[in-house]
Amino acid sequence: MGAPASEEAFAALKCSGRVWAVPSIHGEADRLRAINKAVFDNFDPGDNLVYLGNMIGRGPAVGETLDEVLLMRRRLMAEKGAEPRNIVFLRGGQEEMWQKLLTIQFAADPKNVLDWMVDHGIESTLQAYGASASEGLKAAEEGIMGLTHWTNELRARLRKRDGHTALLSALKRAAFLDNQALLFVNTGVDFSKSLAEQDDTFWWGAGDFDAIEEPYGGFGLIVRGYDSKNRGVRFGPYTATLDSLCGRGGALEAVCFSADGTIQERFEA
């Protein structure tokens, strides 16, 4: 089932350097700043950095979080030998919800969809752009025209934050080292399908991630950044969960992997 060829959906990382992985941030900008500083201070030429999705949602500083990841990218790009492909942003459930929200006027039942999104943490992202779920619910009562006006206003507010629209429009589904030692995803994979066939399994998951008992698709280790069951950081023979519950009362952790999948460094904020 190996690595897919699509460069638009997946990021292939060169195994000439290490890979720094940052799990779900959930709008905790202060923790992210501390983690980014630790990563930057220890980043070597040829290293890679992967943000594993769920940068937005839940936490108190969604806009500032996106500002910080964009700043980190600019800082690293200013370093000698750095290339744009060394820094990757994955789509998580929060980013997927946001994209769906921007076209919610086409949903069969917009009110119930928005209620579900609120239950899963999208309110803080709305507030970051000067909006609220209550506004959306009111717009839903006006029908498709009301919702279209509301989502157009959301897009306009998003564009006012430098780089946010471009970032959220260029997220990858997954990333992998080109030697296939490591596969990076947001939430999980469906073991019965190839990477190209996963659809939204990457951010909503399928089955028990910890129950994977053999390599998937030729990859040595699958690394994910979010666990919906909130069980914390865990490492197994073929899987690694880096979610330290940031945005849900926990810390934020960054883990550095060597090109063969060995853990070399860990930082927590």
Residue-by-residue DSSP string for 159-212: HTSTTHHHHHTS-BSEEEETTSSEEEESS---TTS-GGG-TTHHHH--S-GGG-
Per-residue pLDDT of 130-162, as tens digits, reads 999 999 999 999 999 999 999 999 999 999 999
Are both 177 and 262 inside the same structural domain?
yes
Are both 109 and 185 inside the same structural domain?
no
Task: Report how far residue 264's alpha carbon sits from residue 73's, in angstroms, rounded to the nearest whole number.
Answer: 22
* In a domain? residue 82: no
CATH of the domain at 203: 3.60.21.10
* In a domain? residue 61: no
* In a domain? residue 51: no
Q: Give the domain extent around 263.
A: 10-45+172-268
> What is the model's pTM?
0.95
Residue 211's pLDDT is 85
Are both 259 and 216 inside the same structural domain?
yes
- Confidence tier at 257 by pLDDT (50, 70, 90): very high
* In a domain? residue 85: no
Are both 152 and 178 inside the same structural domain?
no
Contact at 8 Å (CB) between 3 and 196? no
Per-residue pLDDT of 152-207, as tens digits, reads 999 999 999 999 999 999 999 999 999 999 999 999 999 889 998 988 999 998 77
Structurally, the chain folds into a number of domains equal to 2
Whether residue 5 has pLDDT greater than 50: no
Look up tokens 């119930």; give the residue: 112
* In a domain? residue 130: yes
Contact at 8 Å (CB) between 73 and 168? no
Domain limit, last residue, from 136, 159, 182: 159
Are both 236 and 178 inside the same structural domain?
yes
Whether residue 91 has pLDDT greater than 60: yes
Per-residue pLDDT of 220-231, as tens digits, reads 999 999 999 999
Domain limit, last residue, from 104, 138, 159: 159
Residue 82's pLDDT is 84
- Confidence tier at 1 by pLDDT (50, 70, 90): very low
* In a domain? residue 57: no
Are both 263 and 176 inside the same structural domain?
yes
